[in-house]
Structures are given as C-alpha cells and as structure tokens.
Amino acid sequence: MPKQQRDKKIPRWVEGELRLVGSLDGRLMELLKAIESSGSINQAAKNVGLSYKGAWQMIERANNLAPKVLISTATGGAKGGGTCLTSAGQALLQLFMRINEQHQQFIAEVNQRLADDPVVQMLLKPLLIKTSATNQLFGVIVDIEVGSVTVQVTVKLKGNEQVAAAISLSELKQLDLKVGQDTVLLINDPEVLIVTKPKAYQFSARNYLKGKVVRLQADAVDAEVVIHLPSGDSLVAIISQSSAEAMALKRGATAYAVFKSNAVIIGVL
C-alpha cells in the first residue's frame, strides 16, 4: 500500500512541528522558500500570510541568530533590485527540509505503532470525535432490543451505569450496531433534567444517572448545572434559574441527571 494512502487511514495521535534552535521553524522556512521563488519580501509575505513588517522581523531575527547572513537584498540596478537567499540561506533551507522529512517519517512511524496498540485505541480514539453536543458519554453496547417501530439500545458506561437510547430500525441498519461495540452517546444539555428527589415524582424518561453537583453557574434567567457521575463522567444540564433556586441546588449536593431515551444520539467509532 502506498505511504500516502496508508497515512490517510492512520489517525495522527502524535503531532509535532519541527523547530531548530532559536526561531528557525517551519514558518520561517516557508518565508525563505517564498522569497527564493518570488525574489520579493513583500510578495513572499503575502504568499505565507504575513505582514511586510512581520516578515522583516522574522528575517532580522534569523539573520542575527545565524553565523552568516541568510538573505541579501539589493536596490536599483538593471533589474530594479530584489531579495534572494544567500548560499548560507539556501543551505539552511535544504538542511531544514531534510530534517523535517525525517521528522515526519518518525511521526508517521510512531502513529503507526500507536494505531496497532489496543490500549491506545481505548484511550485516544474518543479524542478524534468532534461534535456540537455538550454531553458525550463513551460506553459499550450491552443489549439491543428490536421492536416493531423502534429499537432500544442499552449502553454500559465505564462506571457500569447504563443508558437507554431509542433509535429507528433504519438507523440500526445504517450504523450496523452490535452488542460489544464501542459507542459514543451525545446528549444536548437542554434535554437533561435535574432531579433531587426522584421518588417524589414519576417520569416517562428512561435514564436516571445519579451524581454530585460539581458546578453551578447561573445568570438572571438560566443555570448551567454540571453533574459528576461516580465513573468520572460529567453531564451538563441547562435549567431555569428559578428551578435551581427551588431545588436549593449547590455544589456537592446529590442530584440525578434525567433524560429520555430518544434524546440520546448514538455514534460509532
């Protein structure tokens, strides 16, 4: 398999930009390459997204750090002057490019080894997921109950709490869910209710997760409540300020995060 095609399938668990001593980093090298190709600091600065002043500041720092001048400028003359790399500047650019190629190969090899490590998969895979949902819970599917219209999927969290999610038959087929499969549960914060005395009320919601209030931030209208579960996971709920006051919510108080099964969105890794 070609290296480029293989790298597309390997998550970049480890990232790192090469920087030599001082300020000799990738951005400076991009500026040097742009100067070499354009012969103009002004044009090179535009090409790499810098201001003219910012480009000159980088050049001055590089020239001061290097034992030999890296860039020479000329004014006037038959061709109207210009800017170019000196032999030292060209040598530095070539050196950086060779080292950076080796650096990128090293990063790719590290990521390849990590991709083959099941422990790394468990620890780092969730970090690749980006979503607008406030609440993300990771777990394993322990049961799938197929009904005539909907499917109830039960997911066990890392603290052994169980969450029920209701999805459609088409969604079950599309996601190809199976018992034992890793999954992420997404719940938007307005969907989560906060209850302090669950036995005093009856709810149609399937999910009750007990925890402690670790943060309560309120404004004139709403209150953001963060419930810390025994497993270490947290759930955020947005409730009215009046409701928070009526329940006398405070940090350290026991509370339940309550949400319906159809409020849960299932994602698979």
pLDDT for 141-184, tens place per residue? 999 999 888 999 999 998 889 999 999 998 998 889 999 998 88
25-42 pLDDT tens trace: 888 899 999 998 898 888
| C-beta of residue 125 within 8 angstroms of C-beta of residue 132 | no
Q: Is the pLDDT reported for residue 80 higher than 60?
A: no
pTM of the model: 0.54
Q: What amino acid occupies position 240?
A: S
Q: Which residues of 157-181 are buried (b: 16+ CB within 10 A; e: fewer)?
A: beeebebbbbbeeebbeeeebeeeb
Only one residue has tokens 């979503």, namely 131
Both tokens of residue 9? 């399938």
Which residue, among 186, 192, 185, has the nearest Cα to 209 in the 3D structure?
Answer: 192
Residue-level pLDDT at 6: 44
Both tokens of residue 63? 């020239």
215-240 pLDDT tens trace: 888 777 888 999 999 878 889 999 88
Both tokens of residue 15? 């990232």
CATH topology of domain 129-268: OB fold (Dihydrolipoamide Acetyltransferase, E2P) (2.40.50)
- 4-13, 128-137, 165-174, range with the lowest pLDDT: 4-13
How far apart are the C-alpha atoms of 266 and 152, rounded to whole Å?
Answer: 11
First-to-last alpha carbon distance for the chain, in angstroms, is 23
Q: Is the pLDDT reported for residue 72 higher than 60?
A: yes
CATH 1.10.10.10 given to domain 3-121 = yes
Element (H, E) at 176: none
Residue-level pLDDT at 3: 47
Residues 6 or more apart whose Cβ sits within 8 Å of residue 223:
216, 217, 238, 239, 240, 241, 243, 244, 249
Residue 257 bridge partners (DSSP): 194, 209
Which residue, among 75, 82, 23, has the nearest Cα to 54 in the 3D structure?
Answer: 23
123 or 3: whose pLDDT is higher? 123
How far apart are the C-alpha atoms of 22 and 156, rounded to whole Å?
Answer: 50
Residue 141 bridge partners (DSSP): 155
Name the residue ranges covered by the structural domains of the chain: 3-121, 129-268
Q: Is the pLDDT reported for residue 89 higher than 60?
A: yes
How far apart are the C-alpha atoms of 126 and 184, rounded to whole Å?
Answer: 8
